[in-house]
Structure 1
Amino acid sequence: MDPDFWLFLAVGFGAQLVDGCLGMAYGVVSTSALLSMGVTPAAASASVHAAKVFTGAASAASHVAHRNVDWRMLVPLSIGGVVGGCLGTYLLTSVNGELIRPFVVGWLFIMGVVILYRAWRNARPKGLSIHAPGPLGLIGGFFDAVGGGGWGPVVTSTLLSSGENPRKAIGTTNSAELFVAIAISASFITAVLTGHWRSTEMADHLWSVLGLIAGGVIAAPIAGWVTKVLPIRVLTWMVGILIVALAIWQGVQIILS
Protein backbone atom coordinates (compact mmCIF):
# COMPACT_ATOMS: atom_id res chain seq x y z
CA MET A 1 0.00 0.00 0.00
CA ASP A 2 1.26 3.49 -0.87
CA PRO A 3 3.02 5.23 2.07
CA ASP A 4 0.96 8.36 1.35
CA PHE A 5 -2.12 6.46 2.52
CA TRP A 6 -0.81 6.09 6.07
CA LEU A 7 0.50 9.65 6.18
CA PHE A 8 -2.84 11.08 5.10
CA LEU A 9 -4.75 8.68 7.34
CA ALA A 10 -2.96 10.40 10.25
CA VAL A 11 -3.65 13.83 8.73
CA GLY A 12 -7.31 12.98 8.18
CA PHE A 13 -7.71 11.59 11.71
CA GLY A 14 -6.21 14.65 13.36
CA ALA A 15 -8.05 17.10 11.12
CA GLN A 16 -11.45 15.44 11.63
CA LEU A 17 -10.91 15.14 15.38
CA VAL A 18 -10.33 18.89 15.58
CA ASP A 19 -13.09 19.64 13.07
CA GLY A 20 -15.66 17.46 14.83
CA CYS A 21 -14.83 18.93 18.24
CA LEU A 22 -14.44 22.59 17.26
CA GLY A 23 -16.46 22.86 14.04
CA MET A 24 -13.59 23.72 11.71
CA ALA A 25 -10.13 22.89 10.37
CA TYR A 26 -10.63 19.63 8.39
CA GLY A 27 -10.61 21.43 5.07
CA VAL A 28 -7.87 23.88 6.03
CA VAL A 29 -5.53 21.18 7.39
CA SER A 30 -6.19 18.66 4.61
CA THR A 31 -5.95 21.22 1.81
CA SER A 32 -2.72 22.62 3.25
CA ALA A 33 -1.21 19.12 3.32
CA LEU A 34 -2.11 18.54 -0.35
CA LEU A 35 -0.87 21.97 -1.41
CA SER A 36 2.46 21.23 0.28
CA MET A 37 2.79 18.29 -2.15
CA GLY A 38 2.42 20.63 -5.11
CA VAL A 39 -1.25 19.97 -5.84
CA THR A 40 -3.04 22.96 -7.41
CA PRO A 41 -5.75 24.76 -5.36
CA ALA A 42 -8.59 23.49 -7.56
CA ALA A 43 -7.43 19.87 -7.46
CA ALA A 44 -6.79 20.08 -3.71
CA SER A 45 -10.27 21.46 -3.09
CA ALA A 46 -11.85 18.77 -5.26
CA SER A 47 -9.92 16.02 -3.44
CA VAL A 48 -10.74 17.30 0.03
CA HIS A 49 -14.44 17.68 -0.74
CA ALA A 50 -14.57 14.16 -2.14
CA ALA A 51 -13.17 12.98 1.19
CA LYS A 52 -15.59 15.25 3.08
CA VAL A 53 -18.58 13.39 1.64
CA PHE A 54 -17.57 10.31 3.64
CA THR A 55 -16.15 12.00 6.73
CA GLY A 56 -19.09 14.42 6.76
CA ALA A 57 -21.58 11.56 6.79
CA ALA A 58 -19.80 9.94 9.75
CA SER A 59 -19.52 13.27 11.56
CA ALA A 60 -23.18 14.18 11.00
CA ALA A 61 -24.32 10.78 12.27
CA SER A 62 -22.20 11.20 15.39
CA HIS A 63 -23.52 14.70 16.16
CA VAL A 64 -27.12 13.61 15.56
CA ALA A 65 -26.62 10.65 17.91
CA HIS A 66 -25.25 12.96 20.61
CA ARG A 67 -28.05 15.53 20.06
CA ASN A 68 -25.72 18.32 19.01
CA VAL A 69 -27.89 19.42 16.04
CA ASP A 70 -30.48 22.22 15.83
CA TRP A 71 -32.83 20.98 13.10
CA ARG A 72 -34.47 24.36 12.46
CA MET A 73 -31.10 25.87 11.62
CA LEU A 74 -29.85 22.87 9.62
CA VAL A 75 -32.16 23.18 6.59
CA PRO A 76 -31.64 26.86 5.61
CA LEU A 77 -27.93 26.63 6.43
CA SER A 78 -27.57 23.57 4.18
CA ILE A 79 -29.51 25.12 1.29
CA GLY A 80 -27.42 28.29 1.43
CA GLY A 81 -24.23 26.24 1.63
CA VAL A 82 -25.15 24.16 -1.41
CA VAL A 83 -25.82 27.26 -3.53
CA GLY A 84 -22.66 29.01 -2.33
CA GLY A 85 -20.57 25.90 -2.84
CA CYS A 86 -21.70 25.50 -6.44
CA LEU A 87 -20.95 29.16 -7.19
CA GLY A 88 -17.53 28.91 -5.52
CA THR A 89 -16.65 25.80 -7.50
CA TYR A 90 -17.48 27.53 -10.77
CA LEU A 91 -15.31 30.50 -9.78
CA LEU A 92 -12.40 28.31 -8.62
CA THR A 93 -12.34 26.39 -11.89
CA SER A 94 -12.39 29.71 -13.78
CA VAL A 95 -10.02 32.06 -11.91
CA ASN A 96 -7.29 31.98 -9.26
CA GLY A 97 -9.00 31.49 -5.88
CA GLU A 98 -5.95 32.89 -4.06
CA LEU A 99 -7.10 36.40 -4.99
CA ILE A 100 -9.84 36.42 -2.34
CA ARG A 101 -7.93 34.43 0.28
CA PRO A 102 -6.73 37.55 2.20
CA PHE A 103 -10.36 38.62 2.77
CA VAL A 104 -11.22 35.20 4.21
CA VAL A 105 -8.22 35.35 6.54
CA GLY A 106 -9.20 38.84 7.74
CA TRP A 107 -12.74 37.72 8.52
CA LEU A 108 -11.38 34.66 10.29
CA PHE A 109 -9.18 36.75 12.58
CA ILE A 110 -11.97 39.18 13.49
CA MET A 111 -14.37 36.37 14.34
CA GLY A 112 -11.72 34.65 16.46
CA VAL A 113 -11.11 37.79 18.50
CA VAL A 114 -14.86 38.23 19.08
CA ILE A 115 -15.20 34.63 20.28
CA LEU A 116 -12.23 34.99 22.64
CA TYR A 117 -13.81 38.15 24.05
CA ARG A 118 -17.06 36.31 24.71
CA ALA A 119 -15.17 33.47 26.39
CA TRP A 120 -13.28 35.96 28.56
CA ARG A 121 -16.51 37.69 29.55
CA ASN A 122 -18.13 34.28 30.06
CA ALA A 123 -21.08 35.43 27.94
CA ARG A 124 -24.02 33.12 28.30
CA PRO A 125 -24.86 31.20 25.10
CA LYS A 126 -28.34 31.30 23.62
CA GLY A 127 -30.27 29.06 21.24
CA LEU A 128 -29.49 29.08 17.54
CA SER A 129 -31.47 32.13 16.51
CA ILE A 130 -29.31 33.94 13.97
CA HIS A 131 -31.65 35.77 11.59
CA ALA A 132 -29.98 34.90 8.28
CA PRO A 133 -28.79 31.26 8.27
CA GLY A 134 -29.37 30.93 4.51
CA PRO A 135 -27.08 33.82 3.48
CA LEU A 136 -24.54 32.75 6.10
CA GLY A 137 -24.51 29.26 4.56
CA LEU A 138 -24.16 30.75 1.08
CA ILE A 139 -21.06 32.74 2.11
CA GLY A 140 -19.59 29.77 3.99
CA GLY A 141 -20.18 27.39 1.08
CA PHE A 142 -18.64 29.84 -1.38
CA PHE A 143 -15.46 30.30 0.64
CA ASP A 144 -15.29 26.57 1.36
CA ALA A 145 -15.25 25.71 -2.34
CA VAL A 146 -12.80 28.45 -3.26
CA GLY A 147 -10.37 27.86 -0.40
CA GLY A 148 -10.69 24.09 -0.02
CA GLY A 149 -11.72 24.76 3.58
CA GLY A 150 -13.72 27.68 4.91
CA TRP A 151 -17.15 26.35 5.83
CA GLY A 152 -16.32 25.89 9.51
CA PRO A 153 -14.24 29.05 9.98
CA VAL A 154 -16.95 31.22 8.40
CA VAL A 155 -20.13 29.54 9.70
CA THR A 156 -19.05 28.24 13.11
CA SER A 157 -17.14 31.41 13.98
CA THR A 158 -20.08 33.63 12.97
CA LEU A 159 -22.57 31.57 14.98
CA LEU A 160 -20.35 31.57 18.05
CA SER A 161 -19.46 35.26 17.79
CA SER A 162 -23.20 36.03 17.88
CA GLY A 163 -23.48 34.09 21.14
CA GLU A 164 -24.84 30.74 20.00
CA ASN A 165 -24.50 27.56 22.05
CA PRO A 166 -21.11 26.03 21.04
CA ARG A 167 -22.38 22.43 21.01
CA LYS A 168 -25.35 23.22 18.79
CA ALA A 169 -23.34 25.55 16.55
CA ILE A 170 -20.60 22.97 15.98
CA GLY A 171 -22.96 20.01 15.57
CA THR A 172 -25.28 21.85 13.17
CA THR A 173 -22.41 23.28 11.12
CA ASN A 174 -20.74 19.88 10.78
CA SER A 175 -24.01 18.18 9.79
CA ALA A 176 -24.82 20.80 7.16
CA GLU A 177 -21.30 20.43 5.76
CA LEU A 178 -22.22 16.97 4.45
CA PHE A 179 -24.69 18.47 1.96
CA VAL A 180 -22.23 21.21 1.02
CA ALA A 181 -19.50 18.66 0.32
CA ILE A 182 -21.82 16.60 -1.86
CA ALA A 183 -22.83 19.68 -3.86
CA ILE A 184 -19.23 20.86 -4.34
CA SER A 185 -18.05 17.39 -5.36
CA ALA A 186 -20.91 17.14 -7.86
CA SER A 187 -19.97 20.58 -9.22
CA PHE A 188 -16.36 19.52 -9.78
CA ILE A 189 -17.53 16.37 -11.57
CA THR A 190 -19.85 18.48 -13.73
CA ALA A 191 -16.98 20.86 -14.55
CA VAL A 192 -14.87 17.90 -15.71
CA LEU A 193 -17.65 16.29 -17.75
CA THR A 194 -18.54 19.55 -19.50
CA GLY A 195 -14.92 20.37 -20.29
CA HIS A 196 -15.00 23.50 -18.11
CA TRP A 197 -12.11 22.14 -16.01
CA ARG A 198 -9.50 19.49 -16.70
CA SER A 199 -7.23 17.86 -14.12
CA THR A 200 -5.45 14.52 -13.73
CA GLU A 201 -4.04 15.32 -10.29
CA MET A 202 -6.82 13.68 -8.29
CA ALA A 203 -6.00 10.31 -9.86
CA ASP A 204 -2.32 10.86 -9.10
CA HIS A 205 -3.10 11.43 -5.41
CA LEU A 206 -5.82 8.79 -4.99
CA TRP A 207 -4.08 7.09 -2.05
CA SER A 208 -3.81 10.43 -0.26
CA VAL A 209 -7.55 11.03 -0.65
CA LEU A 210 -8.35 7.51 0.55
CA GLY A 211 -6.17 8.13 3.59
CA LEU A 212 -8.04 11.35 4.37
CA ILE A 213 -11.33 9.46 4.15
CA ALA A 214 -10.20 6.58 6.38
CA GLY A 215 -8.71 8.83 9.06
CA GLY A 216 -11.72 11.14 9.10
CA VAL A 217 -14.26 8.32 9.38
CA ILE A 218 -12.35 6.80 12.31
CA ALA A 219 -12.14 10.12 14.18
CA ALA A 220 -15.74 11.32 13.61
CA PRO A 221 -17.51 9.29 16.34
CA ILE A 222 -14.89 10.30 18.92
CA ALA A 223 -15.22 13.98 18.05
CA GLY A 224 -19.01 13.97 18.41
CA TRP A 225 -18.73 12.55 21.93
CA VAL A 226 -16.02 15.02 22.97
CA THR A 227 -18.18 17.94 21.81
CA LYS A 228 -21.02 16.67 23.99
CA VAL A 229 -19.03 16.32 27.23
CA LEU A 230 -16.68 19.33 27.13
CA PRO A 231 -17.78 22.38 29.23
CA ILE A 232 -19.19 25.16 27.05
CA ARG A 233 -16.69 27.82 28.17
CA VAL A 234 -13.73 25.52 27.53
CA LEU A 235 -15.13 24.71 24.08
CA THR A 236 -15.52 28.43 23.34
CA TRP A 237 -11.94 29.19 24.37
CA MET A 238 -10.63 26.34 22.24
CA VAL A 239 -12.54 27.47 19.16
CA GLY A 240 -11.44 31.10 19.56
CA ILE A 241 -7.77 30.20 19.98
CA LEU A 242 -7.90 27.86 16.99
CA ILE A 243 -9.52 30.47 14.73
CA VAL A 244 -7.00 33.20 15.62
CA ALA A 245 -4.08 30.78 15.21
CA LEU A 246 -5.33 29.66 11.79
CA ALA A 247 -5.80 33.26 10.69
CA ILE A 248 -2.31 34.27 11.80
CA TRP A 249 -0.76 31.19 10.19
CA GLN A 250 -2.55 31.75 6.88
CA GLY A 251 -1.70 35.45 6.99
CA VAL A 252 2.00 34.61 7.34
CA GLN A 253 1.71 32.19 4.41
CA ILE A 254 0.17 34.95 2.26
CA ILE A 255 2.94 37.40 3.17
CA LEU A 256 5.70 34.87 2.51
CA SER A 257 4.22 33.90 -0.83
Structure 2
Amino acid sequence: MIVAEETVAVQPAKKTNKRTLFIVGGSVLVILGIGAFLYLNSTTWELIKPYTSKLFTKDLLFFALVGFFAQMIDGALGMAYGISSTSFLLGLGVPPALASSSVHVAEVFTAGISGLSHLKMGNVNKQLFKRLVLPGVIGAIAGAYILTSIDGAVIKPYIAVYLLVMGVIVLRKAFRKKTEPRDEKTLAPLALFGGFMDAVGGGGWGPIVASTLLSKGHQPRYAIGSVNLAEFFIALAGAITFVTLIGAGNWQIIVGLVLGGSVAAPFAAYLCQKFSTRTLMIMVGVLIIGLSIRTLIMTFF
Protein backbone atom coordinates (compact mmCIF):
# COMPACT_ATOMS: atom_id res chain seq x y z
CA MET A 1 0.00 0.00 0.00
CA ILE A 2 1.25 3.48 -0.81
CA VAL A 3 0.94 5.92 2.05
CA ALA A 4 -1.45 8.70 1.13
CA GLU A 5 0.52 11.67 -0.03
CA GLU A 6 -1.61 14.13 1.92
CA THR A 7 -0.19 12.81 5.23
CA VAL A 8 3.44 13.57 4.41
CA ALA A 9 4.87 16.21 6.71
CA VAL A 10 6.01 19.46 5.15
CA GLN A 11 9.00 21.23 6.58
CA PRO A 12 8.95 25.03 6.87
CA ALA A 13 10.04 26.44 3.53
CA LYS A 14 11.58 29.55 5.04
CA LYS A 15 14.12 27.66 7.15
CA THR A 16 15.00 25.33 4.27
CA ASN A 17 15.39 28.22 1.84
CA LYS A 18 17.77 30.07 4.17
CA ARG A 19 19.87 26.94 4.59
CA THR A 20 19.96 26.32 0.85
CA LEU A 21 20.92 29.91 0.06
CA PHE A 22 23.63 29.76 2.74
CA ILE A 23 25.11 26.59 1.24
CA VAL A 24 24.97 27.91 -2.33
CA GLY A 25 26.34 31.31 -1.34
CA GLY A 26 29.10 29.77 0.75
CA SER A 27 30.11 27.47 -2.08
CA VAL A 28 30.29 30.37 -4.51
CA LEU A 29 32.46 32.37 -2.09
CA VAL A 30 34.82 29.42 -1.61
CA ILE A 31 35.17 28.94 -5.36
CA LEU A 32 35.80 32.66 -5.89
CA GLY A 33 38.33 32.68 -3.07
CA ILE A 34 40.26 29.76 -4.52
CA GLY A 35 40.18 31.39 -7.94
CA ALA A 36 41.48 34.70 -6.55
CA PHE A 37 44.29 32.94 -4.70
CA LEU A 38 45.39 31.04 -7.77
CA TYR A 39 45.23 34.17 -9.90
CA LEU A 40 47.31 36.23 -7.44
CA ASN A 41 49.82 33.44 -6.92
CA SER A 42 51.56 33.68 -10.28
CA THR A 43 53.68 30.54 -9.84
CA THR A 44 50.69 28.32 -9.10
CA TRP A 45 48.66 29.99 -11.84
CA GLU A 46 51.29 29.32 -14.48
CA LEU A 47 51.38 25.64 -13.49
CA ILE A 48 47.63 25.10 -13.87
CA LYS A 49 47.00 27.59 -16.70
CA PRO A 50 47.52 25.02 -19.51
CA TYR A 51 44.74 22.89 -18.02
CA THR A 52 42.28 25.62 -17.05
CA SER A 53 42.55 27.32 -20.43
CA LYS A 54 41.17 24.17 -22.04
CA LEU A 55 38.30 23.90 -19.58
CA PHE A 56 37.14 27.45 -18.81
CA THR A 57 36.25 28.72 -22.26
CA LYS A 58 33.20 30.53 -23.60
CA ASP A 59 31.72 27.14 -24.48
CA LEU A 60 31.56 26.36 -20.75
CA LEU A 61 29.07 29.22 -20.33
CA PHE A 62 26.78 27.74 -22.99
CA PHE A 63 26.94 24.31 -21.38
CA ALA A 64 26.20 25.86 -17.96
CA LEU A 65 23.13 27.60 -19.40
CA VAL A 66 22.00 24.29 -20.90
CA GLY A 67 22.37 22.65 -17.48
CA PHE A 68 20.51 25.47 -15.75
CA PHE A 69 17.44 25.44 -18.01
CA ALA A 70 17.31 21.64 -18.22
CA GLN A 71 17.41 21.32 -14.41
CA MET A 72 14.79 24.04 -13.93
CA ILE A 73 12.47 22.04 -16.18
CA ASP A 74 13.30 18.72 -14.51
CA GLY A 75 13.23 19.95 -10.92
CA ALA A 76 9.94 21.82 -11.26
CA LEU A 77 8.11 19.28 -13.43
CA GLY A 78 9.82 16.05 -12.36
CA MET A 79 11.01 15.13 -15.82
CA ALA A 80 12.89 15.90 -19.03
CA TYR A 81 16.43 16.73 -17.81
CA GLY A 82 18.01 14.18 -20.13
CA ILE A 83 15.70 14.94 -23.03
CA SER A 84 16.04 18.72 -22.63
CA SER A 85 19.80 18.84 -22.13
CA THR A 86 20.47 16.37 -24.94
CA SER A 87 18.27 18.39 -27.30
CA PHE A 88 20.02 21.64 -26.35
CA LEU A 89 23.48 20.06 -26.77
CA LEU A 90 22.60 18.68 -30.19
CA GLY A 91 21.45 22.18 -31.14
CA LEU A 92 24.90 23.47 -30.18
CA GLY A 93 26.51 20.96 -32.52
CA VAL A 94 27.61 18.33 -29.98
CA PRO A 95 27.66 14.80 -31.52
CA PRO A 96 24.81 12.56 -30.24
CA ALA A 97 27.03 9.90 -28.61
CA LEU A 98 29.10 12.52 -26.80
CA ALA A 99 25.98 14.39 -25.68
CA SER A 100 24.35 11.26 -24.22
CA SER A 101 27.47 10.15 -22.34
CA SER A 102 28.09 13.62 -20.90
CA VAL A 103 24.47 14.11 -19.84
CA HIS A 104 24.34 10.85 -17.91
CA VAL A 105 27.49 11.64 -15.94
CA ALA A 106 26.39 15.22 -15.20
CA GLU A 107 22.94 14.04 -14.16
CA VAL A 108 24.42 12.18 -11.20
CA PHE A 109 25.32 15.53 -9.60
CA THR A 110 22.26 17.53 -10.62
CA ALA A 111 19.80 14.74 -9.75
CA GLY A 112 21.44 14.36 -6.35
CA ILE A 113 21.03 18.04 -5.51
CA SER A 114 17.50 18.12 -6.91
CA GLY A 115 16.45 15.01 -5.01
CA LEU A 116 17.90 16.33 -1.75
CA SER A 117 16.11 19.65 -2.25
CA HIS A 118 12.77 17.87 -2.73
CA LEU A 119 13.43 15.70 0.34
CA LYS A 120 14.24 18.74 2.50
CA MET A 121 11.10 20.54 1.34
CA GLY A 122 8.82 17.59 2.13
CA ASN A 123 8.02 16.72 -1.49
CA VAL A 124 8.92 13.01 -1.18
CA ASN A 125 6.63 10.07 -0.39
CA LYS A 126 9.18 7.64 1.09
CA GLN A 127 7.11 4.52 0.44
CA LEU A 128 6.66 5.47 -3.20
CA PHE A 129 10.38 6.24 -3.51
CA LYS A 130 11.39 2.83 -2.10
CA ARG A 131 9.18 1.00 -4.58
CA LEU A 132 10.66 2.88 -7.53
CA VAL A 133 14.39 2.98 -6.90
CA LEU A 134 15.59 -0.66 -7.07
CA PRO A 135 13.78 -1.74 -10.27
CA GLY A 136 14.72 1.61 -11.80
CA VAL A 137 18.41 0.98 -11.12
CA ILE A 138 18.20 -2.50 -12.64
CA GLY A 139 16.51 -1.09 -15.74
CA ALA A 140 19.14 1.65 -16.09
CA ILE A 141 22.03 -0.82 -15.96
CA ALA A 142 20.37 -3.10 -18.52
CA GLY A 143 19.55 -0.18 -20.82
CA ALA A 144 23.05 1.30 -20.70
CA TYR A 145 24.55 -2.09 -21.51
CA ILE A 146 22.23 -2.69 -24.47
CA LEU A 147 22.76 0.84 -25.84
CA THR A 148 26.40 0.01 -26.54
CA SER A 149 25.28 -2.38 -29.28
CA ILE A 150 21.76 -1.27 -30.29
CA ASP A 151 20.68 2.13 -31.61
CA GLY A 152 18.27 3.70 -29.13
CA ALA A 153 16.70 5.78 -31.93
CA VAL A 154 14.86 2.67 -33.11
CA ILE A 155 12.83 2.50 -29.88
CA LYS A 156 12.22 6.24 -29.44
CA PRO A 157 9.13 6.51 -31.73
CA TYR A 158 7.28 3.89 -29.68
CA ILE A 159 8.09 5.70 -26.45
CA ALA A 160 7.01 8.99 -28.01
CA VAL A 161 3.57 7.54 -28.81
CA TYR A 162 3.25 6.19 -25.27
CA LEU A 163 4.20 9.54 -23.76
CA LEU A 164 1.83 11.38 -26.07
CA VAL A 165 -1.04 9.29 -24.70
CA MET A 166 0.16 9.87 -21.13
CA GLY A 167 0.31 13.62 -21.74
CA VAL A 168 -3.28 13.69 -22.94
CA ILE A 169 -4.39 11.68 -19.89
CA VAL A 170 -2.58 14.05 -17.53
CA LEU A 171 -4.18 17.10 -19.17
CA ARG A 172 -7.62 15.49 -18.97
CA LYS A 173 -7.20 14.77 -15.26
CA ALA A 174 -5.99 18.33 -14.63
CA PHE A 175 -9.48 19.60 -15.45
CA ARG A 176 -11.33 16.86 -13.57
CA LYS A 177 -12.32 16.75 -9.95
CA LYS A 178 -9.85 15.33 -7.43
CA THR A 179 -8.88 11.73 -8.15
CA GLU A 180 -7.96 9.36 -5.34
CA PRO A 181 -4.57 7.64 -5.72
CA ARG A 182 -4.79 3.97 -6.66
CA ASP A 183 -3.23 1.11 -4.77
CA GLU A 184 -0.48 0.42 -7.29
CA LYS A 185 0.59 -3.15 -7.99
CA THR A 186 2.67 -2.43 -11.09
CA LEU A 187 5.26 0.06 -9.82
CA ALA A 188 8.20 -2.33 -10.23
CA PRO A 189 7.59 -2.98 -13.97
CA LEU A 190 6.97 0.73 -14.50
CA ALA A 191 10.23 1.71 -12.77
CA LEU A 192 12.14 -1.06 -14.59
CA PHE A 193 10.82 0.17 -17.93
CA GLY A 194 11.49 3.82 -17.05
CA GLY A 195 15.08 3.15 -16.00
CA PHE A 196 15.70 1.06 -19.11
CA MET A 197 14.37 3.69 -21.50
CA ASP A 198 16.21 6.49 -19.69
CA ALA A 199 19.51 4.79 -20.51
CA VAL A 200 18.58 3.64 -24.01
CA GLY A 201 16.87 6.83 -25.16
CA GLY A 202 19.12 9.42 -23.49
CA GLY A 203 16.35 10.40 -21.08
CA GLY A 204 12.86 9.32 -20.13
CA TRP A 205 12.81 8.30 -16.46
CA GLY A 206 10.77 11.33 -15.46
CA PRO A 207 8.40 11.45 -18.44
CA ILE A 208 7.61 7.74 -18.24
CA VAL A 209 7.36 7.26 -14.47
CA ALA A 210 6.08 10.65 -13.33
CA SER A 211 3.50 10.96 -16.11
CA THR A 212 2.14 7.48 -15.37
CA LEU A 213 1.86 8.23 -11.64
CA LEU A 214 0.13 11.53 -12.37
CA SER A 215 -2.28 9.89 -14.80
CA LYS A 216 -3.32 7.49 -12.02
CA GLY A 217 -4.20 10.19 -9.55
CA HIS A 218 -1.04 10.77 -7.51
CA GLN A 219 -0.57 14.34 -6.34
CA PRO A 220 2.00 16.09 -8.57
CA ARG A 221 4.06 17.44 -5.68
CA TYR A 222 4.81 14.01 -4.18
CA ALA A 223 4.99 12.14 -7.47
CA ILE A 224 7.50 14.66 -8.81
CA GLY A 225 9.56 14.79 -5.60
CA SER A 226 9.74 11.00 -5.24
CA VAL A 227 10.64 10.49 -8.90
CA ASN A 228 13.36 13.16 -8.65
CA LEU A 229 14.96 11.57 -5.59
CA ALA A 230 14.93 8.12 -7.21
CA GLU A 231 16.42 9.63 -10.36
CA PHE A 232 19.75 10.16 -8.61
CA PHE A 233 20.21 6.43 -8.14
CA ILE A 234 19.02 5.66 -11.67
CA ALA A 235 21.44 8.24 -13.09
CA LEU A 236 24.30 6.89 -10.96
CA ALA A 237 23.73 3.32 -12.11
CA GLY A 238 23.52 4.37 -15.75
CA ALA A 239 26.57 6.65 -15.53
CA ILE A 240 28.75 3.96 -13.98
CA THR A 241 27.75 1.53 -16.71
CA PHE A 242 28.35 4.08 -19.48
CA VAL A 243 31.75 5.13 -18.11
CA THR A 244 32.80 1.50 -17.76
CA LEU A 245 31.82 0.66 -21.34
CA ILE A 246 32.44 3.80 -23.41
CA GLY A 247 34.10 6.44 -21.19
CA ALA A 248 32.86 9.66 -19.61
CA GLY A 249 32.83 11.92 -22.67
CA ASN A 250 33.87 15.59 -22.77
CA TRP A 251 34.64 16.90 -19.26
CA GLN A 252 34.02 20.49 -20.33
CA ILE A 253 30.41 19.62 -21.18
CA ILE A 254 30.01 17.72 -17.92
CA VAL A 255 31.41 20.57 -15.78
CA GLY A 256 29.14 23.11 -17.49
CA LEU A 257 26.03 20.95 -17.05
CA VAL A 258 26.84 20.31 -13.38
CA LEU A 259 27.47 23.99 -12.58
CA GLY A 260 24.29 25.21 -14.25
CA GLY A 261 22.14 22.39 -12.89
CA SER A 262 23.47 22.74 -9.34
CA VAL A 263 22.45 26.40 -9.22
CA ALA A 264 18.97 25.66 -10.63
CA ALA A 265 18.07 22.61 -8.49
CA PRO A 266 17.06 24.31 -5.19
CA PHE A 267 14.99 26.96 -6.97
CA ALA A 268 13.23 24.35 -9.12
CA ALA A 269 12.26 22.36 -6.00
CA TYR A 270 10.88 25.55 -4.46
CA LEU A 271 8.75 26.24 -7.55
CA CYS A 272 7.39 22.70 -7.40
CA GLN A 273 6.26 23.36 -3.81
CA LYS A 274 4.52 26.62 -4.71
CA PHE A 275 2.65 25.63 -7.88
CA SER A 276 -0.93 24.39 -7.55
CA THR A 277 -1.82 20.81 -8.44
CA ARG A 278 -3.74 21.83 -11.56
CA THR A 279 -0.96 24.17 -12.76
CA LEU A 280 1.70 21.46 -12.41
CA MET A 281 -0.44 18.87 -14.20
CA ILE A 282 -1.12 21.24 -17.10
CA MET A 283 2.58 22.10 -17.41
CA VAL A 284 3.57 18.44 -17.28
CA GLY A 285 0.95 17.41 -19.82
CA VAL A 286 1.88 20.14 -22.29
CA LEU A 287 5.59 19.38 -21.92
CA ILE A 288 5.10 15.65 -22.50
CA ILE A 289 2.91 16.19 -25.57
CA GLY A 290 5.33 18.76 -27.02
CA LEU A 291 8.40 16.57 -26.56
CA SER A 292 6.59 13.53 -27.94
CA ILE A 293 5.42 15.35 -31.06
CA ARG A 294 8.92 16.74 -31.58
CA THR A 295 10.42 13.27 -31.32
CA LEU A 296 7.95 11.84 -33.85
CA ILE A 297 8.54 14.71 -36.29
CA MET A 298 12.33 14.34 -36.07
CA THR A 299 12.04 10.57 -36.54
CA PHE A 300 9.78 10.48 -39.58
CA PHE A 301 10.54 13.82 -41.25
Query: TM-score w.r.t. structure 2 length?
Result: 0.78
Please say if residues 100 and 202 of structure 2, whose CA atoms lie closer than 8 Å, have aligned partners that are also in contact: yes
Is the Cα contact below 8 Å between 1:141 and 1:151 reproduced in 2? yes
State the Cα distance separating 1:128 from its structure 2 match: 7.2
- Map of 1:248 onto structure 2: 293
CA deviations on 1:225-248 (whole Å, 9 max, x unpaired) are 111111111111111111111111
After TM superposition, the structure 1 = structure 2 runs for residues 1-257 of structure 1, keeping only pairs within 5 Å, are: 1-121=56-176, 123-127=177-181, 129-192=183-246, 202-203=249-250, 206-256=251-301
User: How far has the Cα of 1:38 moved from its partner?
Assistant: 4.9
8 A Cα contact 1:155 1:173, kept in partner: yes
CA contact (8 A) 1:128 1:165 kept: no
SS of 1:69's equivalent in the other structure is coil
Q: Is the 8 A contact 1:128 1:168 kept in 2?
A: no
> Aligned in 2, Cα 1:39/1:91: closer, same or farther, shift over 3 Å?
farther
State which structure, 1 or 2, has the greater radius of gyration over its C-alpha atoms.
2
Output the CA distance in 1 between the equivalents of 2:184 and 2:297: 32
Change (3 A) 1:82 1:42: farther
SS in 2 for 1:27: helix
CA contact (8 A) 2:164 2:289 kept: yes
In 1, Cα distance between the equivalents of 2:90 and 2:66? 13
Partners of 2:106 and 2:223 lie apart in 1 by 22
One-letter identity of the residue aligned with 1:8:
F
Per the TM alignment, residue 4 of structure 1 is displaced from its structure 2 partner at its CA by: 1.6
Which residue pairs with 1:195 in the alignment?
A: none
Q: Residue type of the partner of 2:113? A: A
Displacement of 1:207: 1.5
Separation in structure 2 between the aligned mates of residue 63 and residue 89 of structure 1, nearest angstrom? 27
Assess if the C-alpha contact under 8 Å between 2:66 and 2:89 holds in 1: no
Q: Which amino acid aligns with 2:186?
A: A
Deviation at 1:37, TM superposition (A): 4.6
State the Cα distance separating 1:190 from its structure 2 match. 2.3
Residue 253 of structure 1: how far off its partner (Å)? 1.1
Matches of 1:125 and 1:24 in 2, distance apart?
A: 22
> How many residues in Structure 1 have an aligned counterpart in Structure 2?
246
Contact 1:24 1:152 in 2 (8 A): yes
Q: Aligned partners of 1:157, 1:78: CA distance in 2, in Å?
A: 16
- Shift of the alpha carbon at 1:89? 0.5
TM-aligned CA deviation for residue 43 of structure 1? 3.3
Contact 1:144 1:151 in 2 (8 A): yes
User: Hey, what's the Cα distance between the residues in 2 that align with 1:172 and 1:71?
Assistant: 7
Percent of counterpart pairs with the same letter? 45
Structure 1 unaligned residues grouped into runs of 5+:
193-198
Change (3 A) 1:91 1:37: farther
Where do 5+ consecutive residues of structure 2 fail to align? 1-55
Q: Give the structure, 1 or 2, with the largest relative contact order (CA under 8 Å, sep 6 or more).
A: 1
